[in-house]
């Protein structure tokens, strides 16, 4: 594990240096959004890539983070920094609440994907119904610029903030690669019965994974709220966030550590390219993402990171 830290720090330093090198606010926002996307993908990857449980409703954790943040600030007057741990814990808690019955009854594969979608929809309908969460109108947090309010006046503040979250996510992924828990999680993914026969408590392991994944995703929701100051049921619990998380992870490379980062930047770049070519059309971009998803599954199942690994190996063999 210690061997991986230099690379991680180098990555962090490189990203942190962006505001110092780049002066264009536009490019900084792009980098920030890419990192935010990466965070979503890293979260999905923990449950889907390492754990092998494909969630189609990951927005349930995102929306929880965003709404807990909003409610904590607007209804209870807490500061953003105080709301952050609450949001993250909320995500983990929802993970456990969903995971406990779902894993207890052994839902896997397509059924797991469907049930997570159903949970996201339930949360969406609930958020839409109660005035406490703003119902259909959604919730807005007051504009209070300043680092103390987690609403940075300088865009580099947001970039560094999300970068810290991404680093935490990457650290968690690396830990999975080099820990007993991670080894057990992968074993359960590969063959649950064999893992159980070797003493792995599959239920506990999967629950841990979904809680960790939910916590990170909720952090993403928290960040979204701080950056855009507004959340409503479709934004928080809708399909677009769920799809974004899984797309980034798959394009980047399921089960790899840095894959989601690669995927996020690649998709961001692609988005900019299509905007340049055909103008701003969110629908067409998403349609394109759908095509990419199909193509990735068909031709590049290990994602861009997998492709990179293959090229690296070929390069080594050539020597």
By CB under 8 A, name the binding residues for other proteins.
1, 54, 56, 101-102, 105, 107, 109-111, 113-115, 117-119, 121-122, 125-126, 128-129, 136, 178-180, 183-184, 186-187, 190-191, 193-202, 239, 243, 246, 250, 281, 283-287, 289-295, 297-298, 301
Tell me the closest approach of the beta carbon of residue 79 to other proteins, in angstroms.
32
**Alpha carbon distance 220, 262 (integer Å):** 17
CA–CA distance, 230 with 70 (Å, rounded to integer): 8
CB of 135 to other proteins, least distance (A): 8
Q: How far is the CB of 65 from other proteins (least distance, A)?
A: 21
Distance (Å, whole) CA 75 – CA 83: 12
Cβ distance to other proteins smaller for residue 291 or 311: 291
In whole angstroms, the minimum distance from the beta carbon of 121 to other proteins comes to 5
Identify which of residues 141 and 188 has a Cβ nearer to other proteins in the complex.
188
Report the alpha-carbon distance of residue 106 to residue 100 in Å, rounded. 10
Nearer to other proteins, 111 or 228 (CB): 111
We find the least distance from the C-beta atom of residue 282 to other proteins, in angstroms, to be: 8
Helix orientation angle between 155-177 and 202-228, rounded to the nearest 10 degrees = 170
| Most distant CA atoms of the chain, gap in Å | 65
CB of 176 to other proteins, least distance (A): 11
Q: How far is the CB of 155 from other proteins (least distance, A)?
A: 29
CB of 6 to other proteins, least distance (A): 18
Nearer to other proteins, 26 or 299 (CB): 299
- Rounded Cα distance between 270 and 90, Å, is 33
Q: How many CB atoms lie within 10 A of CB 132?
A: 12
Angle between helical axes of 202-228 and 180-190 (0-180°, round to 10):
110
How does DSSP classify residue 47? Answer: I
Q: Find how far residue 283's CA is from the centre of its chain.
A: 22
Nearer to other proteins, 35 or 202 (CB): 202
Q: Which is nearer to other proteins, 49 or 220 (CB)?
A: 49
Quick one: 19 or 57, whose CB is closer to other proteins? Answer: 57
Q: Check if the beta carbon of residue 236 is closer than 8 Å to that of residue 91.
A: no
Q: How many residues does the chain have?
A: 319
How far apart CA 151 and CA 155 sit, in angstroms, is: 9
Closest distance of CB 131 from other proteins, Å:
12
CA gap 24, 28 in Å, rounded: 6
| Nearer to other proteins among residue 276 and residue 298 (C-beta) | 298
Structure tokens at 137: 């109108």
User: Taking the CA of residue 224 as centre, how many other CA atoms within 13 Å lie in the half-sphere pointing to its CB?
Assistant: 30
Q: Please, which residue, 144 or 280, has the CB nearer to other proteins?
A: 280
What does the alpha-carbon distance between residue 312 and residue 285 come to, in Å, rounded to a whole number? Answer: 31
């Amino acid at each position: 594990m210690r061997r991986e830290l230099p690379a991680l720090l180098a990555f962090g330093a490189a990203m942190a240096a962006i505001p110092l090198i780049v002066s264009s606010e536009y490019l900084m926002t792009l980098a920030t959004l890419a990192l935010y996307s990466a965070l979503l993908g890293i979260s999905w990857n923990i449950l889907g890539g390492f754990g092998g449980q494909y969630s189609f409703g990951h927005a349930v954790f995102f929306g929880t983070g965003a709404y807990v943040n909003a409610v904590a600030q607007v209804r209870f007057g807490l500061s953003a920094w105080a709301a952050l741990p609450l949001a993250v814990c909320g995500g983990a808690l929802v993970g456990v609440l969903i995971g406990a019955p779902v894993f207890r009854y052994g839902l896997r594969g397509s059924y797991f994907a469907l049930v997570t979608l159903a949970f996201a929809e339930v949360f969406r309908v609930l958020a839409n119904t109660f005035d406490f969460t703003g119902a259909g109108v959604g919730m807005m947090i007051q504009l209070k610029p300043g680092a103390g309010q987690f609403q940075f006046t300088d865009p580099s503040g947001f970039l560094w903030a999300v970068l810290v979250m991404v680093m935490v996510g990457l650290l968690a992924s690396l830990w999975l690669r080099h820990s007993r828990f991670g080894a057990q999680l992968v074993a359960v993914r590969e063959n649950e019965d064999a893992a159980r026969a070797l003493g792995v408590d599959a239920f506990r392991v999967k629950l841990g994974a979904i809680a960790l994944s939910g916590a990170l995703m909720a952090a993403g929701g928290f960040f979204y709220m701080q950056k855009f100051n507004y959340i409503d049921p479709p934004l928080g619990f809708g399909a677009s966030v769920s799809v974004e998380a899984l797309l980034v992870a798959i394009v980047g490379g399921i089960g790899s550590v840095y894959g989601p980062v690669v995927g996020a930047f690649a998709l961001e770049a692609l988005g900019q390219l299509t905007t340049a070519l055909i103008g701003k059309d969110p629908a067409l971009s998403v349609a394109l993402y759908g095509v990419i998803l199909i193509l990735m599954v068909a031709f590049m199942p290990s994602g861009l990171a997998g492709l990179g690994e293959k090229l690296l190996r070929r390069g080594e063999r050539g020597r």
